[in-house]
Structure 1
């Protein structure tokens, strides 16, 4: 009879899903450094060995939680590269990264701490998915003669990232300073406004002659 490895679950088990659900709740409520694997295991009705078996470490579990949360957004960036309009890219991003979503609250927490594995996830898994889409959009505008060639591509990328991420990462400040409620309706209006603004800027003086 083949010997079972220590800590390996027998038969079909939903413990992995329970660990992910518990970790998702813990990381939503508290910063990464304040959450312990013991707390997660207890909430999931499991033990530390199962976290190690399924995810390797606390960081591995955290990355798995972020991956699950970001899957709808990630799918957008992986598909139809170069075919989505600026309006589609921005509105979809705002919908998935809704201010009251688990994804937004978890990533906001991750980005607020310098040494956090969530920062690497945002850079490597999300932003690196977005930039090729934006670059393709710029190439299409250039090919059609609609792009203001005086614009710096590097600065365009920076503006694009600000457009996508800043309203979501600074929700609390915006609501406090401007007295707005960044709900689904407001984000839809903001997406339309920002798209009109950046589209005019991309085309520059070509619109005025």
Structure 2
């Protein structure tokens, strides 16, 4: 019996995505050239056309490559109970610690309409909204959270707790006098997760 094996990531494609992320985070979209990305990735510029079609296609795939693992959680077991929010926040903090400027890039695209990705990001966020609403319905059905929880309120609360530490990272570190390192973010994820668990819990019977 033949068992399908998952193909390993293509190293050139992976390098191009990494180089694109570094370039787009460091400069405005219109100032970043495909030649610069190819040089940083040690790849031929024709490979950008081969894998992504053009600069905009590479830009969108870079965003998808970063956000998809976070959205895929909504289809998995991590949020099968309210306690899973700590793990979800931890995953978000870990992901964005590796790319600390990424939330600012998303904010620039959505709020300032910089770069071509506004519609694409909105589509991804809407996919997350739909999946999140289904997850909330499942948690309600199994008595994990209160029936009165509004999925959109929950989503906005989560985004606020997730993005704010990364968007204001430099300010927080200056005020506290130390870095938002792995240990601090672990404690923050645990604390915020417990806030969610307490806030979502069904009311105790009188």
Q: TM-score, normalised by structure 1?
A: 0.70
Report the alpha carbon displacement of residue 137 of structure 1 after superposing the two structures with TM: 3.9
Identify the residue that residue 96 of structure 2 maps to in structure 1. 97
Alignment of 1:17-32 (within 5 A): 17-32=14-29
Q: 1:17 to 1:184 in 2, by over 3 A?
A: closer
Report the alpha carbon displacement of residue 121 of structure 1 after superposing the two structures with TM: 4.7
Please identify the structure whose Cα radius of gyration is greater.
1
Report the alpha carbon displacement of residue 185 of structure 1 after superposing the two structures with TM: 0.8
Alignment of 1:162-177 (within 5 A): 162-177=160-175
Report the alpha carbon displacement of residue 167 of structure 1 after superposing the two structures with TM: 1.9
Q: 1:171 to 1:200 in 2, by over 3 A?
A: same
- The answer to whether structure 1 residue 35 and structure 2 residue 25 are counterparts is no
Identify the residue that residue 3 of structure 2 maps to in structure 1. none
Identify the residue that residue 157 of structure 2 maps to in structure 1. 159
Match for residue 49 of structure 2 among 44, 47, 52: 52
For structure 2, list consecutive stretches of 5 or more residues without a partner in the other structure. Answer: 1-9
CA RMSD of aligned residues (A): 3.4
Report the alpha carbon displacement of residue 143 of structure 1 after superposing the two structures with TM: 4.7
Identify the residue that residue 181 of structure 1 maps to in structure 2. 179
d(CA) in 1 for partners of 2:31, 2:145: 50
Q: 1:168 to 1:80 in 2, by over 3 A?
A: same
For structure 1, list consecutive stretches of 5 or more residues without a partner in the other structure. Answer: 1-12
Alignment of 1:124-135 (within 5 A): 124-125=123-124, 128-129=127-128, 132-133=131-132, 135=134
Report the alpha carbon displacement of residue 196 of structure 1 after superposing the two structures with TM: 1.8
Q: TM-score, normalised by structure 2?
A: 0.71
Equivalent pairs counted in the alignment come to 192
